[in-house]
Structure 1
Amino acid sequence: MARFRPLVEEREALLATGVRDPFSIVMTSVLSPTEAIIQGKRTILLGTYNYMGMTFDPDVIAAGKKALDEYGAGTTGSRVLNGTYQGHKECEDALKEFYGTDHAIVFSTGYQANLGIISTLAGKGDYIILDADSHASIYDGCWLGNAEIVRFRHNSVEDLDKRLGRLPREAGKLVVLEGVYSMFGDVAPLPEMVAVARKHGAMILCDEAHGMGFFGANGRGVYEEMGCEDDIDFVVGTFSKSVGTVGGFCVSNHPDFEVLRLVCRPYIFTASLPPSVVATAATSIRKLMHASDKRAHLWKNSRRLHAGLRELGFTIATETAQSAIIAIMLSDQETAVALWQALLEGGVYVNLARPPATPAGTFLLRCSLCAEHSDAQVDEILAIFAAAGRAIGHIG
């Protein structure tokens, strides 16, 4: 534990200044997809990844209650033993219909989906080529599989091409991309990257955790929006964002895909999702197939908040609204925490992100919009940001 002592001391010094701990917030009551009671105060939720607002959908809740009554609280077993119920198959069928693929596999979390698929596809002697800003679950999947890791500069097609060109032609190669990168909310140039990966004979996995639900005509993600559906070998995602529950998945048209159920350790050696969870997921996924109005409203919210924050004088990580994530860049931890607390006291919860989750020296307040945020709530959010920014002297 000695190696964590500097972090402990930094945290103790921060809390000694009288600020609340940004990483131990408790929601005593959740009122809707967009509001909760935090420390006795009505608070607008602007940091939950509940992009499509499905957590309180009546059909989703009813499906979960029905499955809980009919199948009980849990499976007490792995998917390859006693832990596959009818609901798990129905959830995988919903995914296949949503994505238009031949195969789908459901994991107990989104983290395990990346951990399992990446570590199984690429092992010792293979190469995984990934964006330097990839999610922790992607890096952990690389390490579990013991493949050689090759990083390229964030969203750099040129650097991806260069690094692929240095690898042995005969070696197995897996290029891992993300549709939306969660820290800054920016989108990958997928068509150009896919073309480069194909040129070098690599398989391609795209993580659509933050793109599922509102990118593309069918809500499949950035890869659909950018016309790459026929070129991506594997799509990984999560239920804990737009779907509004918990779990992870991978979909694919690869002819040998089903063998993964027999060799993927994070799938084999963990308990399956409870029946109520897969029931809520399947119902939510099927409703997202027909959610074009919600997608349009979410994009409206994102553009309004991005433009409004820039007009107030905040520095945003992207020039335009590229996704439902809007990241406010701050120069130091003290300013970031002060603004975070001022917003919370004003009635808005956002996520504070700091190294090592962000690049060294980068501190963010990360806003995650929801399709259920009303126009009036966006107005209120902007007013609270204005008051908080001025109160700490960050904006004029």
Structure 2
Amino acid sequence: MSTSEAWKYLEPKIANIQERIFELEWEPSRRNNFVPYKADGNTAYVFVEGQRLLMMSGYGYIGLNGDPRVVAAAKAAVDEYGTGTPGVRALAGTIPLHEELEREVAKFLGRESALVFSSGYAGNVGVIGALVGAGDTIFLDKLDHASIVDGAQLTGATLTRFRHNDPGHLDRRLEATAPGGTRLVIVDSVYSMDGDIAPLPALREVCDKHNALLMVDEAHALGVIGATGRGIEEHFNYEVKADIKVGTLSKAIPANGGWIVGEKILMDYVKRFARPFLFSAALAPAQVGAALESLRILDREPERVSYTQREAARFRDLVQQAGFNTGDTETAVVPLIVGSNDKAWDFASALQKGGVVGLPVISPAVQPHMARLRIAITAAHSRADIDYAIDSFITAARQTKVLEG
């Protein structure tokens, strides 16, 4: 890099990350980040440099990525509306398909209205920023997604963290906070690195006790939990409701975009005060068409959800019996926790040589000494795929001393 004086404070940081990458990926076979995968149609397989591999770390929970109906809907949207939109939603960027998708999201999730953002990250940052600011207080679960943390930090509100999935600790945090201003508690419905579920009824009770609003991020809950994939409220048999629900169209729904649902007056407010909505390009027509068709398929075919739930439970049982540490997972997200960053990288690299992709997640994305392979079971995985993956996990784990034997 340039030796200009202007770069002197950045150069050590850049050199440090280059050194860290080399320590993990010192040969091509150890490349586990930013790999260009080519999907093998509507299957659980991908190609990497001509090699066909079983993908076990993708987000396509209900198996619709590459589904011909979804592809056709995306193409039809491009044919009718083109490849992009001529502005932001508030100006020239809204097309009828945006509003059709918003009506479908609201209907599916049992709310009056919805708003669609260009990404889930933008949705969280925008919604949080629209709801709170200086003089307010935000309470975040220790393991909340980065987009929630970033959105909270940008607001100027007081930020307080509470222990993961611990309503009692949240209660004490709220009790210790001086009254005044909006109090907003934010949790993930399903935690993306751990696969456990937020205790919604207990959180609701604590929030009501302290006059706090409860916001849940359903990114990894839509299509994953609840009998028909409608998320955390359905999972708890609609005993309680969240005040604000947000999520994505890029996990179970194979497109892009984020969403918020609620009363129409709340949507009217958010669309005017959420800066990522006001100042980002509108969601592209192909993505809107794909998301709309996917949501309708999910509504018509809830058996995709029940299959994934059933196979995820079987997978969890079998890998736990084999000796893997899966933490507190109870969903299709299954961490195989191995400890050190190096061990996770060794495990993933050995696994890929055996024909399976299980991607490593290391600190600081997870807590120190909690590095893991983050596995996701989907409706695209056949029982034979899952059995093959389990055998491959065990073989690679023994080769790398993750498991003894």
Instruction: Spell out the pairing of 1:192-271 with structure 2 (5 A cutoff).
Output: 192-228=202-238, 230-253=240-263, 255-271=265-281
Among 357, 361, 371, which residue is 1:353 paired with?
Answer: 361
Query: Which position in structure 1 is the counterpart of 2:4?
Result: none
3-state DSSP of counterpart to 1:256: helix
Cα distance, 1:254 vs structure 2? 6.4
Alpha carbons of structure 1 residues 193 and 45: separation in structure 2 relative to 1, 3 Å? same
The TM-score with structure 1 as length reference comes to 0.96
CA contact (8 A) 2:114 2:264 kept: no
Structure 2: distance between partners of 1:58 and 1:267: 30
Q: Kindly indicate whether residue 30 of structure 2 is the aligned counterpart of residue 20 of structure 1.
A: yes
Among 314, 336, 356, which residue is 2:324 paired with?
Answer: 314
Among 121, 125, 137, which residue is 2:135 paired with?
Answer: 125
Q: Kindly indicate whether residue 200 of structure 2 is the aligned counterpart of residue 190 of structure 1.
A: yes
Structure 1: distance between partners of 2:255 and 2:136: 34
Q: Kindly indicate whether residue 331 of structure 2 is the aligned counterpart of residue 323 of structure 1.
A: yes
Cα distance, 1:107 vs structure 2? 0.2
Cα distance, 1:394 vs structure 2? 2.5
Among 22, 25, 42, which residue is 2:52 paired with?
Answer: 42
Query: What is the one-letter code of the residue matched to 1:248?
Result: G
Query: Per-residue displacement from partner, 1:211-255 (whole Å, max 9, x unpaired)?
Result: 101322342112221145753111100010011111110001364
Q: Structure 1 vs Structure 2: percent identity of aligned residues?
A: 34
Among 389, 392, 396, which residue is 2:400 paired with?
Answer: 392
Among 337, 342, 348, which residue is 2:345 paired with?
Answer: 337
Structure 2: distance between partners of 1:42 and 1:60: 23
Query: Per-residue displacement from partner, 1:89-139 (whole Å, max 9, x unpaired)?
Result: 110011111011111000000111101001111111111101011100001
Q: Once structures 1 and 2 are overlaid, which stretch shifts more, 172-181 or 35-44?
A: 35-44
The TM-score with structure 2 as length reference comes to 0.93
Structure 1: distance between partners of 2:27 and 2:67: 41
Aligned length: 394
3-state DSSP of counterpart to 1:16: coil
CA contact (8 A) 2:61 2:252 kept: yes
Structure 1: distance between partners of 2:31 and 2:15: 18
Structure 2: distance between partners of 1:169 and 1:68: 51
3-state DSSP of counterpart to 2:25: helix
3-state DSSP of counterpart to 1:161: helix
Query: What is the one-letter code of the residue matched to 2:359?
Result: N
Structure 1: distance between partners of 2:269 and 2:283: 20
CA contact (8 A) 2:247 2:258 kept: yes
Among 66, 69, 80, which residue is 1:70 paired with?
Answer: 80
- RMSD of aligned Cα (Å): 1.6
Cα distance, 1:44 vs structure 2? 0.8
3-state DSSP of counterpart to 1:129: strand
CA contact (8 A) 2:42 2:67 kept: no
Query: Per-residue displacement from partner, 1:308-328 (whole Å, max 9, x unpaired)?
Result: 11222222112xx51110001
Cα distance, 1:344 vs structure 2? 0.8
Query: Per-residue displacement from partner, 1:190-228 (whole Å, max 9, x unpaired)?
Result: 110111011100111110100101322342112221145
3-state DSSP of counterpart to 1:285: helix
3-state DSSP of counterpart to 1:54: coil
Query: Per-residue displacement from partner, 1:339-369 (whole Å, max 9, x unpaired)?
Result: 1011111111122111111012220111011
Query: What is the one-letter code of the residue matched to 1:357?
Result: A
3-state DSSP of counterpart to 2:388: helix
Unaligned runs of 5+ in 2: 1-9
Structure 2: distance between partners of 1:229 and 1:123: 31
Q: Once structures 1 and 2 are overlaid, which stretch shifts more, 384-393 or 198-207?
A: 384-393
Unaligned runs of 5+ in 1: none
Alpha carbons of structure 1 residues 205 and 271: separation in structure 2 relative to 1, 3 Å? same
Cα distance, 1:372 vs structure 2? 1.7
Query: Per-residue displacement from partner, 1:9-57 (whole Å, max 9, x unpaired)?
Result: 2222233367522112121443334111123211111111110111122
Query: What is the one-letter code of the residue matched to 1:214?
Result: V
Query: What is the one-letter code of the residue matched to 1:98?
Result: F
